[in-house]
Amino acid sequence: MKKLLKTKKPSEGKVGLNIKTKPKVFVGLSGGVDSAVSAAILKKDYDVTGVFIKVWSPDFLPCTWREDRLDAMRVAAFLDIPFITLDLEKEYKKEVVDYMIKEYKTGRTPNPDVLCNKEIKFGAFYDFARTQGVDFIATGHYAQKKEHGIQNNEYLYSVCESKDTAKDQSYFLWNIKQEQLKHVLFPIGRMVKSDVRTLAEKLGLPNAVKKDSQGLCFIGKVEMKDFLKHFIAEKKGSVLDSGGNKVGTHDGAVFLTIGQRHGFTIENKKTASVPHYVVSKNIKKNTVTVSALNPSDVAELGKTTCKLSQVNWINEPEIGKQYQIRFRYHQEPLVGTLNLSKKEWHIILPKPFTGISVGQSAVIYDNKEMLGGGVIEK
C-alpha cells in the first residue's frame, strides 16, 4: 500500500470542530445498488463525487466493466453529482491477481476480497482521494464505523459488524488503519439489504433492481479454480482419508483450500453421499486429506494454535483475553485467546479446529467489534 499522505484532518475527526461547508466525499460507485444508495444517502450532508474504479479483467472472461461503468454513470447523472473514472488496472493486476496466483502456486490460500480492499479500495483509491483534497471516501460495504474513544483531542474509531449479519463484510476489512478509518464512511452499515433495495426503488435509482454481483472481487461470476487453471496447470492427485488411505481423486491440491467440500471426487458411492471437507493438503505429494468431520478426525487433524503475519490492529487486543475468531468468511466464530511472543502474534484455541488454512485471514472480534487480524501461517 502506498504511504499515507499527511493532510488536514476531516471535520468528523476533531472534537468540537464546526465547519460550515460540506465535507467532500468520493463514493466508490461500482454500478451496483449498494454503492448507489450510499451516494444517495450522503448527498444531503456531503459534497459527493462518484468514482468508478476500472480494474484489470482477463481476456478469457466476459468483459462487464463497461456495463458496470455505464450503470455507475447513470446513478451519478440521476443524483446530479460529478463522476470520475479511476484507472487502477495495473495496480489490481500486480497487487491482487499476480499476488494471488503466486500464493496459490505455493499451496497457500489468499483471500482476493481482503487483498482488493487493502490494495485497491482502501489503498490506491483512498490515496487518490486524499491527494485530491477529499475529506472522506465511502463504499457500499455492509459494516459499521463507530466511535471508539478520544485520544489527543481526536476521535478513535472501530469497525463493527453490519446490522445485516447475513451480509456483514467486516471480515474483509481487517487491514484498514486507524488513521485511514477517520476518513472512511460506510453509509449502509446500519441497514439491512431489503431496506437498501426498498430505498433504492423509493428514490427511483436507475439500478434499483440490478442483481448483486457474485464471484471473484471485481472480476465477477467465476469459480476460483476456473480462474486459476488459466495460470496453473491441473495435476491429478489422490484424496486420502485420515488413515492415509486413497478414497478419491482431485485435479490439483493447489486449487483446494481447508474446509472446502467440493472440487474433488470420492470414489465410494456410499461414502460419497456424505459431505466431506478438506482438512489438510500436501503440495509436494499433491494429496489432500478429507474428513466427514467426526470427533476423532477433528482431534487427530485439527490445530489448536497458529501464527499470524502481516498483522494489523484497528484497536489492539489484550493478551490472554477471550475473543471471537473467524478463520473464514461467515464461519461461526470460535472462542480463543491471543499471545505475543518475540513480536509474533499467535492464536490459541481451547479445542482442535480443522478449518485453519495457511494464507487465509484470521479476523478477531470483541463481540460485534472487529479489532483487526492477520494472515494465517503454520
Active site residues per annotation: 116, 217
Dist CA 294 CA 226 (whole Å) = 31
3-state SS class at 130 = helix
3-state SS class at 156 = strand
Q: Which of 317, 321, 322 is nearest to 373 (CA)?
A: 317
Residue written as cell 462487464? 64
Dist CA 239 CA 262 (whole Å) = 12
Chain-centre distance for alpha carbon 216:
11
Could you give the count of Cα atoms lying within 13 Å of 73 in the half-sphere of its Cβ? 10
Confirm if 186 and 172 have CB atoms less than 8 A apart. no
Confirm if 200 and 33 have CB atoms less than 8 A apart. yes
Question: Which contacts (CB < 8 Å, 24+ apart) does range 39-42 have?
Answer: 39/75, 39/76, 39/79, 39/81, 39/138, 40/79, 40/199, 40/200, 40/203, 40/205, 41/187, 41/188, 42/138, 42/185, 42/187
Question: CA torsion sign, 90 to 92 to 95 to 101?
Answer: negative
Confirm if 254 and 105 have CB atoms less than 8 A apart. yes
Phi, psi of 347 (to 5 degrees): -95, 135
CA angle 339, 342, 348 (to 5 degrees): 20
